[in-house]
Chains A and B, each alone.
Chain A
């Protein structure tokens, strides 16, 4: 952890990304304190007011709700869905990947064919189709995006496990008569965790975008909850008269994803310096 901190201090871009991301987390956690207004408060008189009008720093939307407050609350959904899906999909995928790489044989064949099938679907298409059938809710979004997330984790975990299992310390552990579970838990997992953290960072960026895409298409989190994607979807209809409604949430969305990607890039270089030049 200390080495990580020393390394990140030497990379101004990664440090900026980390600060931006911490800011985003702070914004999500402290939303009730930071938001100047109730994000659901409608004021038709002030609909589509430009930024700065009547105390609305970033303007209002088509029913007069405060855009800034909705952006602040929107961070909650983006982060919650992003982190939850990466945790669930990542855990599930990594576990299957380790099993495939460790046990080989039919277990590997079955799991890797499942990965092939999953990757033959554009994940967003499957997510939209399932969401439309099961109905919009935060829980459904998390489940659906977790399903779309597991495959890359599985691939990387399997590859890493295969190479770790060729090492002598695994042979030694087997010779000592340790159980499979213990070998995996104590000797395989700690040695494959770093590449999985890198996959997790990119999956987080992808799922923040995917959540926003679902909300944008109207099949994500119910419209009563402010989300960046939902704001964009609504604001798009008023582009000619109120550019700010669709533009500003998008800037927050993009900067969040950029920060996560930048940190992911830095993490990859940090864990595998050979990649720095490649």
Chain B
């Protein structure tokens, strides 16, 4: 077990190093970062002074080592446009993204699981077909268009809900639905297939033979086992949610990390871009590390296999 944990931890550190390296390399993708950031209309002297101030005149290896050395301390450098440490900016915006992602995750779990279970239990009935066609449809709706349509219907036409910014619970509703829709559909389909797998197992037949009521079989015996792959998928889904947050936060002017990222990219604020990419990967890797570890606690077979 300890070996398994150590191996996962090592893997997480490796992935973070690789992501940080790619984020660093992005800076030099289009040549001189100083010219890219402050534009062509500055004089050569001004650009040279800026290059020196940012440390871009140093050898690449020195910059890279310096950059990597700062990461464990949470030092991503200073935002060029805002002159504030990147980490401070990220931490300022993180609660908003956390709130949005948590709300979306809540919707995903509490909508997709009942729909998936119902579909599996009522397999090949009209209810199953409607639910699964609906899920496929929901997976096909582009996030940004769904957001715009929700704004149009509930904000512009009906005037029921606020369409931008963060504040009350009502502000959260439309962005959370927008962010959650795609993943809800994907997880509902996974819950259904996982439940169907489990319902075909011998221990379910035994439970039926014992005369247990259906709800007990479905919710106590089957669902607990069917949820194992679903939990793994939910961990991976965090990556989709972080990507989705970029678009959802832009559509709803939600003051989170997604919007900060887009603003950083548009303003060519490279230290900030590097910071948010590495931070996003850190969150993703941490969540998946936790999921991996919890997975081995939930399923003793994995503990024994990999221990």
Given A129-B273, A277-B123: A239 in contact with B151 (beta carbons within 8 A): yes
With A and B bound together, what is the CA distance between A243 and B151 in angstroms?
11
Chain B residue contacts of A254, Cβ below 8 A: 140-142, 145
Residues of chain A in range 78-120 having any CB-CB distance to chain B below 8 Å:
113, 116-117, 119-120
With A and B bound together, what is the CA distance between A278 and B191 in angstroms?
10
Q: Are A212 and B266 in contact (CB under 8 A)?
A: no
Given A124-B243, A129-B26: A209 in contact with B18 (beta carbons within 8 A): no
Confirm or deny: A164 has a beta carbon within 8 angstroms of a beta carbon on chain B: no
Chain A residue contacts of B265, Cβ below 8 A: 128-129, 132, 219
Interface stretch (choices B214-222, B245-253, B298-306): B245-253
Residues of chain B in range 21-56 having any CB-CB distance to chain A below 8 Å:
22, 26, 29-30, 36
Chain B residue contacts of A246, Cβ below 8 A: 145, 148, 152
Confirm or deny: B67 has a beta carbon within 8 angstroms of a beta carbon on chain A: no
Confirm or deny: B261 has a beta carbon within 8 angstroms of a beta carbon on chain A: yes
Q: Are B156 and A239 in contact (CB under 8 A)?
A: yes
With A and B bound together, what is the CA distance between A219 and B15 in angstroms?
27
Q: Are B29 and A243 in contact (CB under 8 A)?
A: no
Q: Which of B30, B124, B242 contacts A134 (CB 8 A)?
A: B30
Q: Which of A116, A130, A209, A239 contacts B142 (CB 8 A)?
A: A209
Chain B residue contacts of A60, Cβ below 8 A: none
Q: Are B285 and A261 in contact (CB under 8 A)?
A: no
Q: Which of A125, A235, A253 contacts B242 (CB 8 A)?
A: A125
Given A116-B15, A277-B196: A125 in contact with B246 (beta carbons within 8 A): yes
> Smallest distance from the beta carbon of A240 to chain B beta carbons, Å?
5
With A and B bound together, what is the CA distance between A217 and B261 in angstroms?
12
Q: Which residue of B lies closest to A258 (CB)?
A: B140
Confirm or deny: A12 has a beta carbon within 8 angstroms of a beta carbon on chain B: no
> Smallest distance from the beta carbon of B139 to chain A beta carbons, Å?
6
Residues of chain A in range 218-232 having any CB-CB distance to chain B below 8 Å:
218-219, 229, 232
Q: Are B36 and A133 in contact (CB under 8 A)?
A: yes
Given A122-B242, A133-B30: A117 in contact with B145 (beta carbons within 8 A): no
Q: Which residue of A lies closest to B197 (CB)?
A: A278
Interface size band for B: 35 or more
Q: Are A261 and B149 in contact (CB under 8 A)?
A: no
Residues of chain B in range 232-278 having any CB-CB distance to chain A below 8 Å:
236, 239-240, 242-243, 246-247, 250-251, 261-262, 265-266, 268, 273, 277
Confirm or deny: A126 has a beta carbon within 8 angstroms of a beta carbon on chain B: yes
> Smallest distance from the beta carbon of A239 to chain B beta carbons, Å?
6
Given A117-B18, A128-B265, A240-B156: A122 in contact with B140 (beta carbons within 8 A): no
Chain A residue contacts of B156, Cβ below 8 A: 239-240, 243
Chain A residue contacts of B266, Cβ below 8 A: 132, 218
Q: Which of B136, B151, B277 contacts A121 (CB 8 A)?
A: B277
Q: Are B142 and A257 in contact (CB under 8 A)?
A: yes
User: How many residues in A have their beta carbons less than 8 Å from beta carbons of B?
Assistant: 47
Chain A residue contacts of B18, Cβ below 8 A: 113, 117, 120
With A and B bound together, what is the CA distance between A124 and B261 in angstroms?
12
Given A116-B11, A116-B15, A277-B123: A253 in contact with B246 (beta carbons within 8 A): no
Given A125-B280, A213-B142, A239-B151: A117 in contact with B15 (beta carbons within 8 A): yes
Confirm or deny: A73 has a beta carbon within 8 angstroms of a beta carbon on chain B: no
Confirm or deny: B204 has a beta carbon within 8 angstroms of a beta carbon on chain A: no
Q: Which residue of B lies closest to A275 (CB)?
A: B193
Confirm or deny: A200 has a beta carbon within 8 angstroms of a beta carbon on chain B: no
> Smallest distance from the beta carbon of B86 to chain A beta carbons, Å?
14
Chain B residue contacts of A261, Cβ below 8 A: 136, 139-140
Given A120-B285, A132-B265, A277-B123: A232 in contact with B145 (beta carbons within 8 A): yes
With A and B bound together, what is the CA distance between A160 and B139 in angstroms?
26
Chain A residue contacts of B137, Cβ below 8 A: 258
Confirm or deny: B207 has a beta carbon within 8 angstroms of a beta carbon on chain A: no
Q: Are B240 and A213 in contact (CB under 8 A)?
A: no
Chain B residue contacts of A133, Cβ below 8 A: 26, 29-30, 36, 268
Chain A residue contacts of B152, Cβ below 8 A: 239, 243, 246-247
Confirm or deny: A205 has a beta carbon within 8 angstroms of a beta carbon on chain B: yes
Q: Nearest 5 CB-CB pairs, A to B?
A: A122-B243, A250-B145, A258-B140, A132-B265, A257-B140
A-B contact pairs, 13 of them (CB 8 A): A119-B239, A121-B19, A121-B239, A134-B30, A205-B140, A213-B142, A216-B247, A232-B144, A235-B148, A239-B148, A240-B156, A250-B148, A254-B145
Q: Kindly list 4 other residue pairs between chains A and B, CB separation below 8 angstroms, not including A116-B11, A120-B284, A122-B239.
A: A116-B15, A134-B30, A254-B140, A265-B136
